[in-house]
Amino acid sequence: MAYHLKFILAVFLAITVFGKAGAVELPPPADLSRQSALPSRKVTVVEPHESTHERQKLVEYMALPVDGLLAHWFGGRRVSEEAEIVFLAKDGYRSVISGPQLKKYRAFLAFARSDGAPFTVDNSSQNERKIPLGPYYLIWDNREVPELLRQGAYGWPYQVTAVEWHSKSEDRALLPARTSSTLEQGFAETKGYCLTCHNIRGIGGKKYPVDLIRALCRWQEPDLKAWIDSPSRIKPGTAMPPLARLLPEAERQRMIGRIAGYLDAMKVESSEACARSAP
């Protein structure tokens, strides 16, 4: 009888933590530390939301190591070539981090400022101030890593409430039927920079509910590039940030071109949906 009770309890806990295959709802920090047997630590980072090319702001957070948490939840598959770890925020934001990137760099789930200051951040690129970061904020040990510094705040989701394990193969539905290496690179960049808030064919963030391709039906490629480059110039006060503002400008413009090219190819493939959305 005792064995059966233990088995039933184990199944119940598994269902509670893993609401669906490969998904973890995050408990409060004290519980998460106890369940994973990982102590919290102080982590100092260059805070990308509040730093510029000219001025870096250092902030020290209290955090738990992501690699240890992922090992506890997903085992060795967390860092496989096909692995993608998805961090979900309560406002529908969705940040996808590849397994190899998590293996290469040190990431943490922060839950407080070490100095007791409010756990908030000013996100000037989205015209927002004193944004609550809790319950969790994904941060990276970026101080001595130029590649991470150039990425800025991409890959730093806040208000994280859940973590999921996915396979790259699940996103093949988002590639055009006739593809190329340039389109595939454009898709990868779209997924990293755009599908955090937007979605295509139901895959991506839920911050904006309208399918991105349908929303772009009336946009011509030059206008789309201008919007991606500097949204606030076209719509002052918008929450959409300029694309990868810390990258060298020439590299940034090439990326904008690839993203616009991928989205245009998907729009052509979805011409019937665009025709239905026309007045």
Query: Over the stretch 184-234, which tens digit does the pLDDT of each residue have?
Result: 999 989 988 898 889 898 888 888 888 898 888 888 889 999 999 998 888
Residue 191 to residue 50: CA distance in whole angstroms: 24
What is the model's pLDDT at position 124? 76
Query: Are residue 97 and residue 145 in the same domain, yes or no?
Result: yes
Quickly count: other Cβ atoms within 10 Å of residue 64's Cβ.
Answer: 20
Higher pLDDT, 60 or 276: 60
Is residue 6's pLDDT more than 70?
Answer: no
The pLDDT tens digits of the residues spanning 51-103 come to: 987 899 999 999 999 999 999 999 988 878 889 999 999 999 999 999 999 99
Segments forming the whole domain that contains residue 54: 2-169
Higher pLDDT, 18 or 212: 212
Closest by CA position to 261, among listed 178, 172, 147: 178
Query: Are residue 151 and residue 181 in the same domain, yes or no?
Result: no
Residue 187 to residue 50: CA distance in whole angstroms: 28
Query: Are residue 145 and residue 109 in the same domain, yes or no?
Result: yes
Query: Are residue 211 and residue 80 in the same domain, yes or no?
Result: no
Average pLDDT over residues 170-181: 83
Query: Are residue 41 and residue 157 in the same domain, yes or no?
Result: yes
The burial class, CB within 10 Å (0-12 / 13-18 / 19+), for 81 is: exposed
Query: Are residue 233 and residue 254 in the same domain, yes or no?
Result: yes
Residue 13 to residue 6: CA distance in whole angstroms: 11
pTM, entire model: 0.76
Domain count, the chain: 2
Closest by CA position to 204, among listed 185, 190, 219: 190
Q: Helix, strand, or coil here: 63?
A: strand
